A and B are shown apart, each in its own frame.
Chain A
């Protein structure tokens, strides 16, 4: 299992709900959450064999922006 972290422009719980079906539907995502309390609104994903680029693409499909968190 690997942890991927991305900075996003997701701000509200409502937006998290919009995104949920997309992430929940992926078999290789074991767990995910978005830290709305943090300035970077970090999306944290525990996944198996998932590429960062794949996630970025997925989030963008949903109409949000995201980029890998530095380091």
Chain B
């Protein structure tokens, strides 16, 4: 077996994410990727079993990066308002720094590959989020609602603001830039909504 060339793999990953974000999964082929990353298609198949294997490995790497970034300075035992604030900061920072990776994660969530992606998620991130929520409920800092309702209220507004920011505009083409003030204002409303 040939040894893996980290730089080469890094470039392959980067180009693949760019290509999928720009052209969607249908527009993505190993041949096109090989051209974009300046390697031969045969080389791609040395690193990846097939197109799906490549996409899933990309997803695994992007998700881990996102999860690690989101858990930085975070402790599931934190007070709810403080923990959520750190989650917002970490996630916003990650999304603004890696908009393409974020879009790629989102795209995969809406594809048939999603089921396989969930298996790859790993337990650490999920466990930390679950513990954070159950601790907050126990301390009566968080209303008891279904996980979908919780997620929609706790994180939906954040991702929506990030989306507006990345597009540079909001509804009807209004110009929009996400500032710390706007984010904090929204966060306070979210905390208010989720406080029993």
Contact = CB atoms under 8 A, between A and B. Distances in A.
A binds B: yes
Contacts of A38: 29-31, 50-51
Interface residues of A, number: 17
Contacts of B43: 71
Interface string A43-60: 010000000000000000
Interface string B66-92: 000000000000000000000000000
Interface size class of B (residues with CB under 8 A): 10 to 19
A29 to B, nearest CB: 14
A69 B45 CA distance: 10
Given A3-B45, A35-B51, A37-B52, A42 B30 contact: yes
Contacts of B34: 71
Contacts of A34: 50
A16 to B, nearest CB: 12
Interface of B: 1, 29-31, 34, 39-43, 45-46, 49-52
